[in-house]
Amino acid sequence: MVIADLSVERLLILDRIRHSLRDKQRVLAEWAGGPMAVSAVPGAGKSTGMAGGAAVAIAEHKLHRQKQLAIVTFTRSAAAQIRDKVRQHLQALKLPPGSFSVYTIHGLSLAIAHQHPDLSGIDEETTLLSDADKQRLIRKAVDRWIDEQPRLFQELLEGREFDGEESERQRRITTLRGEILPQLARTLIQEAKSSECSPEDLFLVAEQPTRSPVEEFDNSARAYPILAIAAGLYRVYETMRRERRVIDYDDMTRAALRVLQNPLVRSQWQRQIFAVFEDEAQDSSLQQKELLEQLAYNPTTEKLNFVRVGDPNQAINSTFTPADPYFFRHFCQQQQQAHRFFEMTEAGRSHPNIIRAANRVLHAANTLRDWKDSPPFRLQDIQPVPADDPQLDANPDGPGVELTYPDSIADEIKQMGERVRELLAQQPKHSAAILVRYKAQVQYVVRMLEPLAERSNFELYDGGQSGRHSRVPLELLTLAQFLHRPHSPQYARAALEVLHARERVAKLDFSRLASQPECFLYPGPLAEPLAPVELQAQRLCRSLLKARAELPAAALLTFVALTLLYDADELATTDKLADRVAREAGPAATLGRAVELLSDIVADSDFKPLEAGSDSVYTRAQQLTVMTLHSAKGLDWDYVFLPFLHERTFPGELYVPNGHKFLGDFNVTDVARAQLRSHLHGRDMPDIVTAQQQAGRLKAAEELRLLYVGMTRAKRLLWLSAAREAPFTWSVPENLSRQAPCPLLACIQPERTE
């Protein structure tokens, strides 16, 4: 340790910081340089340990503004929390706050790129694509690719069992243009960029032979060149992006790595950054890991000052983002061989019975099926803290674990509501949450519990409402585009998706309905009759088109908002948008002009979900929060309720939409991602069927980790349930059928109780 010239008072404070940490947190405060990997269980206090370790490192290594410690976290809210903790320690040590910086990975990348615009290609005039603009650019790239590759598109169009019937041909064209190819492009471009893989690199990967010929599977899947198609879409997208002089979020880290290719600039940054501490390392991509390693490398000592803290068992983003826990696991294995790997297994968050239940699920999940070489969990049990732990109310008392199997979801929600009312009446300072898998379940539970909350003593908070409010401009733009050009299959399908997201229409085969919008909206006498749920969607769309003919553009936006059943906050947002359209376009504005203005508003303004200044908005006392399991990561409550725990969801199966099965019984995007990741992991290239099987295993494993994350949010009570009858799909929650419970519930409590 570097302790020379430290005052006695400061040494005493450093000693106090170390002893405020648990034994297994203390490894971060004892770090003296070099690489280190720390695998921490839920509730182990990663940020507390990292903040203490950062303060000790700053003091002992005499860090300052020109020689800083860089802390990298996953979200802005996490960055704010750890920044405050480190500052408190530095104030006690009477050290200046400029000796460290806290970044998100995108914030760090942008800081590097902006300081060196000549190397990064990013300057103040460079436009960052909004999500909506990126989607539009991807769709244009798909159209251009189809024009450039008619043979490949025809091969996809023919698929299997195609008799040439015109309506089916139009449906397939709409599905490929509007769903399959945009989804493939969106996912693979992000995956490739996050792996430092150019379009040309992806073409080379696509040329690798597959591990086993697809013919062995009785031609159940044609040998489409899926990765080559993805590479072609990627190349067209990049060409169009450069033509427009725009970048997307995935370009930020690539731009920072471009900057660091310059030896002089790289040396400057390495002198400025003494070490890098990374939190939530299980959610890093290969590209992010490479960037942080370059910054953490000290060319003078040839030492990598890189501390990575994470939990592979909480990796819940890898099936829909480029996050890949493989690389953190590999880093842990490397450091374990070098005796630089540590575990933080003590957690004071939860009641001992909740900890036991989570540990049992962890072990049982790994034997649930044949996972090949990718089991869901690293065998790392959570341990209660010692009796003399410094944390107040560690491993608190409470009911522990309750498990029930109601007859129906109505009974399930009623039982939850009554239990919440009872618990919060007894303990007004406590908090509760219902955590579910899907957004549709959030809305359903909130709607069903509102009457009980109104007549009871607790607040009901919809944890997803800020996200829905932030989607208002894009939803209005989508509906306005449809009303402006109702004959467009793309706009018709997008409008139906919005109506479904707002629970105005059921989940249907939107591509089939939108493939010929005129026939759907105003069918002739010889048209095939529509089903009742399809007629409902038709009537809703017709009412919007009627309003278009009768209302001015600004008033039409309000009518659309009322059709979508917006709440008061959403209607207020709509009013502001309508006022802006009327102000900028005039009272006689055409709908086309309104669409242009809405497009500009969505592109130029930040309509992302609001981040609360702290997480307290979700965990307030005397409040029941309803939110998705993904959103609950990093939070905890006294009482946590996990309903709807059915085998269909946990672990579930990979879903292939019926409308996509003309290509085969696989999902094009899942296959392509599995093939690319196999290449990045140094494995043989799987064929389509094998890749689909791999993707299915990865999806199931991640769903079980999501269940584990939900369980470990609970402090005093973990309430689990699986109704015997539940919806087959939550787009139609009234249609109940017999559903098997998640098989892991048996290991928590083998005997079923009512």
Residue at token pair 């919005």: 498
Whole-Å CA distances, 168 to 352, 493, 520, 530, 663: 58, 16, 14, 16, 13
Q: What does the radius of gyration of the chain's CA atoms come to, in whole angstroms?
A: 27
pLDDT higher than 80, residue 125: no
Segment 311-334 mean pLDDT: 92
Write the CA distances from 197 to 257, 493, 676, integer angstroms: 13, 32, 10
Around 79, how many Cα atoms within 13 Å sit in the side-chain half-sphere? 17
- Per-residue pLDDT at 611: 39
Q: In angstroms, how far apart are the furthest CA atoms of the chain?
A: 93
Alpha-carbon torsion, ordered 48, 54, 60, 64, to 10 deg? -140
3-state secondary structure of 303: strand
pLDDT top residue among 753 and 113: 113
User: What pLDDT, in 10s, does the model give residues 216-228?
Assistant: 333 444 689 999 9
Tell me the sheet residues that pair with 141. none
Instruction: Give DSSP secondary structure letters for 119-182.
Output: HHS--TTPEEPPHHHHHHHHHHHHHHHHHH-HHHHHHHHH-SS----HHHHHHHHHHIIIIIHH
Dihedral sign (CA 497, 500, 504, 506): positive
Between the ranges 123-137, 314-328, 560-574, where is the mean pLDDT highest?
A: 314-328
- CA–CA gap between residue 36 and residue 341 (Å, rounded): 6
Give the integer Cα–Cα distance in Å for 355 and 383. 7
Reduce the DSSP state of residue 68 to 3 states and report it.
strand
90 contacts: CB under 8 Å, gap ≥ 6: 55, 58, 96, 97, 99, 100
DSSP helix/strand/coil, 437? coil
Task: Summarize pLDDT for 687-718 with one digit per residue, the tens.
Answer: 999 999 999 999 999 999 999 999 999 999 99
In this prediction, residue 695 carries a pLDDT of: 95
pLDDT band at 587 (very low <50, low <70, confident <90, very high): low
Q: How far apart are CA 638 and CA 630, in angstroms?
A: 18
Residue 700 in contact with residue 476, Cβ under 8 Å?
A: no
The predicted model gives 630-644 an average pLDDT of 95
Query: What is the spatial distance between Cα 726 and Cα 736, in angstroms, rounded to a whole number?
Result: 5
Q: Is the Cα dihedral 548, 551, 554, 560 positive or negative? A: negative
Residue 129 has pLDDT above 60, yes or no: yes
**How confident is the model at residue 209, as a pLDDT?**
84
**Rounded alpha-carbon distances, angstroms, from residue 624 to 568, 639, 640, 677:** 21, 9, 9, 40
Give the residue among 334, 282, 337 at the shortest CA–CA distance from 311.
282
Q: Which residues contact 197 (CB under 8 A, 6 or more apart)?
A: 191, 205, 676
Dist CA 480 CA 584 (whole Å): 17
User: Quick one: pLDDT band at residue 365, thresholds 50, 70, 90?
Assistant: very high
Residue 528 binned pLDDT confidence (cut-offs 50, 70, 90): confident
Tens of pLDDT, residues 145-189? 999 999 999 999 999 888 888 989 999 999 999 999 999 999 999
Q: Which two tokens stand for residue 494?
A: 């997008």
Inter-CA distances, 720 with 42, 309, 517, 558, 671, Å: 19, 30, 45, 42, 34
pLDDT digits (tens, 9 = 90+) for 390-429: 778 899 999 999 999 999 999 999 999 999 999 999 999 9
